[in-house]
Amino acid sequence: MPQLEIVDLKANYGAHTVLERINLSVDKGEIVSLIGPSGSGKSTLLRVLMGLLPPISGQVRIDGQALDYNNREQLRRIRSQMAIVFQQYNLFQNMTVLDNVTVAPIKVKGRPRQQVEDYAIKLLEKVGMGAKLKAYPDQLSGGQQQRVAIARALALQPGIVLLDEVTAALDPELVNEVLDTVRLLAADGMTMFIVSHEMGFVREVSSKVVFMDGGHVVEAGSPAQIFDQPREARTREFVGKILRH
């Protein structure tokens, strides 16, 4: 049984349809990268999965159970099973690194402080931030802040992590340190949705690549298929342009 299924999903911003006929199936441990031009619906799909933009129709299922995005209790369950990291780090500037990572599990989940802190320290060490536990966000580089943001998402112990252009706001020399962190998660078997323009990274790390355009899934397949032998003309056009640059 797939860990996540998206069936005929549709979403609107006001009267404007931004996603339509989205069908995807994701197995546990799969890394699904969403690629496509700006405005194609990639980030919107992640927002819908998190319940930040409720779908108009269709279904999202986790482990075979349909999710009701209009039910507040179910919404809490969804956000305990999925975590999202945005391109802007959104760290609390008045909190240390350790406090940023522990605040949600302690305050929202009600977990014991010592247990949460022990786990958070392990996560921060894993992402290379173990020496910065007492630092504040303004004392960190952009890449370091993004690694803290990833650790903060993992501290909620989600089954699925959504990464929305996590390198887009970084200076080029800081991109690799964040991508290395994502590689670590991939090696651990974490199920991930990744929106990224880093095509070399997408090709390296993905189990499945989904090309989107105009709010639709145009084509989905292995990295080799999408980048080397795309079936659809629109995919060929997009891949041809990005691989020339």
* Nearest Cα to Cα of residue 56 among 65, 44, 64: 44
Which pLDDT score is estimated for 244? 65
- What is the average per-residue pLDDT within 78-84? 89
* Spatial CB neighbours of 113, under 8 Å, sequence gap ≥ 6: 102, 106
Q: In whole angstroms, give the CA distance from residue 13 to residue 52.
A: 12
* Nearest Cα to Cα of residue 194 among 179, 215, 173: 179
* Nearest Cα to Cα of residue 163 among 129, 175, 132, 69: 175
- What is the average per-residue pLDDT within 112-137? 95
Confidence of residue 82 (pLDDT cuts 50, 70, 90): very high
What is the pLDDT of the chain when averaged over all its residues? 93
Which helix (H) or strand (E) segment is 117 a member of?
helix 113-126
Helices then strands, counting H and E runs in the chain, come out as 9, 10
Which pLDDT score is estimated for 151? 95
Write the CATH number of the domain with boundaries 4-243. Answer: 3.40.50.300
Confidence of residue 74 (pLDDT cuts 50, 70, 90): confident
Domain extents in the chain: 4-243
pLDDT tens string 141-159: 999 999 999 999 999 899 9
pLDDT tens string 171-186: 888 888 899 999 998 9
Share of the chain above pLDDT 90, in %: 76
**Per-residue pLDDT at 15 exceeds 70:** yes
